[in-house]
Amino acid sequence: MTPAARPLGPLGELGRREAVLGLLGTLVVGGAVASLSGCASGPELVPSDDDATDIGAEVLAIDNRYEPAEVTVRRGQAVTWTFAGSMKHDVVANDRSFVSELLREGSYTHVFAEAGEFPYLCSIHPEMVGVVRVV
Ligand SMILES: [Cu+2]
């Protein structure tokens, strides 16, 4: 029995953890909290541009693919994804510039203001991938 060692052991451990947290806390905790909440609730949603009128391409999100998987639109045009099939899907841009809810029906529209190539996927079916090319 070492009465002094028992309380000091865990306290010493705690002290070390606190020291590490103290050093890294400001750098790490914010990012960790952000990624944890991102994990719990999915990526932060980008509202659908439902009032867009210049729809350059329409994509069907159906089990388990985007049809067509590649579309090209002009800068300023929108892409509308329509959800169908038996499972929920979403569209999540790799750069998070557009992120829909998980939907079984309905649609999601995003206006592309910048030229470029915007790959995306379904957050729960990583094999579902597509790309929007904006020219
Ligand atoms: Cu999916």
Q: How far is the CA of 63 from the centre of ligand 1 (A)?
A: 7
Domain assignment of residue 111, given as a range: 55-134
pLDDT of residue 25: 46
pTM across the whole model: 0.70
In a domain, 33, yes or no: yes
Task: Specify the pLDDT at position 43.
Answer: 78
Whether residue 63 is found in the same domain as residue 114: yes
Instruction: Tell me the CA–centroid distance for residue 107 and ligand 1, in Å.
Output: 14
30 and 65 co-located in one domain: no
Asked whether residue 48 is assigned to any structural domain, the reply reads no
Residue 72 C-alpha to ligand 1 middle, in angstroms? 21
| Segments in the chain below pLDDT 70 | 1-42
Q: Which residues of 7-23 are buried (b: 16+ CB within 10 A; e: fewer)?
A: eeeeeeeeeeeeeeeee
pLDDT for 63:
92
- Position 32 scores a pLDDT of 43
pLDDT at residue 6 in the model = 52
